[in-house]
Amino acid sequence: MNLPYHLILASKSPRRQELLRSLEVDFEIRTKEVDESFPVSIPVNEVAEYLAVKKSQAFENLKENELVITSDTTVLNQGEILNKAENTQEAFEMIQSLSGKTHQVITGVCLRSSNKKTSFSETTKVTFRKLEKAEIEHYIKKYKPFDKAGAYGIQEWIGMVGIEKIEGDFYNVMGLPLHRLYKELLSF
């Protein structure tokens, strides 16, 4: 893909970096600390895009040829946002709450240059089979999923053995909706 911009990925996530690399584009990683709080009045399905836009605002002084990509992923289970687990107990409770149910993973993305901004979000429905307590404990002990919304990675063991089906973009669940991002980059 030949873009007239120098791409900047504003993410420390190794998964997002790997995903963007798979689109065969050159980019640099540049991150800034951003307060990820949001008004409680925002509908939960709009939080990811709100946070992606908020993260992009930290990049005020972009050069004319620079394009920054910011994103945020939320896991919604029965209308409640599941953030990153703080500890083993919280991770266990999160995964147990997803067990035997369908939840939504929403990734918001913002593309920003010095004179233009566009944002979007993608939703993927993920269905877990009923998980055994020992399976959840094994996953948390071995994979330590404390850096992931909802306390799981679809590309890891728990996704391989526990997810019955998904509806939507697989890569969206990993943190970057590649199909949509590719289209948006081409039209930007």
Name all contacts of 114-121 with Cβ < 8 Å and 24+ positions apart: 114/62, 114/63, 114/64, 114/66, 115/64, 116/188, 117/53, 117/56, 118/184, 118/188, 119/49, 119/52, 119/53, 119/56, 120/49, 120/180, 120/184, 121/45, 121/46, 121/48, 121/49, 121/52
Of the residues 26, 35, 72, 169, only one is catalytic, namely: 72
List all residues 6 or more positions away from 132 whose beta carbon is below 8 Å from its beta carbon.
none
- Residue 169: active-site member: no
Which residues are marked as active site? 72
